[in-house]
Structure 1
Amino acid sequence: MVQKLERKVILKKDVWNGILSFCKMKHPSEGILILKGKSKKGIITIDGLTIPPFSYSDQTFAGFPQSFLPLDLSYVGTAHSHPSGSAEPSVTDLHNFFGLVSIIIQSPYDSTDDIFAWDSNANSIPITFESDDAQKN
């Protein structure tokens, strides 16, 4: 019998803070970032961000040419904003899935309540937001 591995995402405080700030800065266009970290036994720990080279965006789409990315085994996925206010992955999001996780941030980008994680099948992945004093699930 094959046991299904349950996934979970852990976001370090400086990462989720950086994601929210980046999304506010890019609004009303979408913003996109590459997530850096590691994955072990279904737990994806994200501890860094990279702005992808030659990224492009408008109010309904953000992307980047993957062929220009330097080889980096710490890439675990992407984070991008949805200025429309919905955190649901679109068909385009799923067709351009990169890595193990896609984090979507819905407007107004005010708190961790606006951050959601998805797998390549549009299944929600629980997130733990690390902070200096406590953790929030």
Structure 2
Amino acid sequence: MARRKNVSGIARDALAFILEASRSTHPHEFAGLLRSDGRLISEVVLVPGTTSDEGSARMLLDMMPLDMSIVGSVHSHPVRDLRFSEADIDMFGAKGYYNIIVAYPYTDKDWVCYSPDGEKVSLPVVEADQ
């Protein structure tokens, strides 16, 4: 299982990017990896070769960067459902501790973060310079 890293929140700019990318790929799913600056989730890493459709997004594990600052994953659901599927929970542990799902209509209220075992994780949105 992925180990929890000391992350105190997500940068507002990173969340804004996630929401906009999800809107842009709608009705297909969006997927990426979450990078931490050591304190906050500060960036989204787009994995080469990622494909998606209306029901799933697939990241190629062999294309994932060897990057110790990766702390989790993000993907969108093009419907109003923030619950994870069995496929989601299977993926969570492989990508890190923090796993964000965003759902249509992709506002700042339409997301949740889960641990690898499916427990909700509190992840405050903060300004990156705080």
Distance in 2, matches of 1:101 and 1:11, equals: 10
What's the TM-score once normalised by structure 1's chain length?
0.82
Structure 1 residue aligned with 2:98: 101
What's the TM-score once normalised by structure 2's chain length?
0.86
Quick check: which one's strand share is greater? Answer: 1
Structure 2 residue aligned with 1:24: 23
Q: Which has the larger radius of gyration?
A: 1
Structure 2 residue aligned with 1:117: 113
Please provide the CA RMSD for this pair.
2.1
Deviation of the 1:9 alpha carbon? 5.2
Contact 2:99 2:113 (C-alpha < 8 Å) held by counterparts: yes
Q: Identify unmatched segments of 5+ residues in structure 2.
A: none
> Per-residue displacement from partner, 1:66-99 (whole Å, max 9, x unpaired)?
1122211111111100112101111000111211
Runs of 4+, deviation exceeding 3 Å: none
Distance in 2, matches of 1:9 and 1:22, equals: 23
Aligned length: 123
Structure 2 residue aligned with 1:79: 74
Q: RCO (CA 8 Å, sep 6+): is it higher in 1 or 2?
A: 2
Deviation of the 1:120 alpha carbon? 1.2
Deviation of the 1:8 alpha carbon? 6.6
Deviation of the 1:130 alpha carbon? 1.2
